[in-house]
Every structure is written in structure tokens, then in C-alpha cells.
Amino acid sequence: MLIFQSFGAPELLIILAIVVVLFGASRIGDIGKGVGRGIREFRREIKDETKEDDETKEKKDSADAEETKT
């Protein structure tokens, strides 16, 4: 697909102009805010999952250590 290799700054500016005409500048701002919120929530959920996994692993390790002592 040689067509996609020729995208440069002028082509991207034309696409941006078309998007602004279709959606309007305020709507694009709202879309950007929504995407930003979504990314923040996604990162927060990943971080929470990692913490839960670490806590679960620590509990399992301490339980295994307790079993070994008895």
C-alpha cells in the first residue's frame, strides 16, 4: 500500500480541517476530554489490578510460609 506511505504534514492538516468542519471545534474538544478521561481511568484500573495482584501474592506467600512453619 504505497498510498499510506505518502502522508505528510499537508495531508494531515487537510484531514484535520475536514474533521473540524464536520464536527466543529467545541465538539472536538469534548471528544478530546472524553478520550483523556478514558485513558486516565484505564491507567487507574491497571494500577489497581496490579496492586491487588501484589497483595494477593503477598498473602499467598505469607500463608505458604505459615504452613511451612507448622
pLDDT 10s digits, 36-56 = 999 999 999 988 888 777 777
With vertex at residue 38, the alpha carbon angle to CA 35 and CA 43, rounded to the nearest 5 degrees, is 125
pLDDT at position 64: 67
pLDDT band at 2 (very low <50, low <70, confident <90, very high): low
Half-sphere exposure of 20 (CA within 13 A, CB side): 7
Using the 8-state DSSP alphabet, how is residue 8 labeled?
Answer: -
pLDDT at residue 36, rounded to an integer: 94
Q: What is the pLDDT of residue 65?
A: 66
For the stretch 12-28, pLDDT in tens is 899 989 988 888 888 88
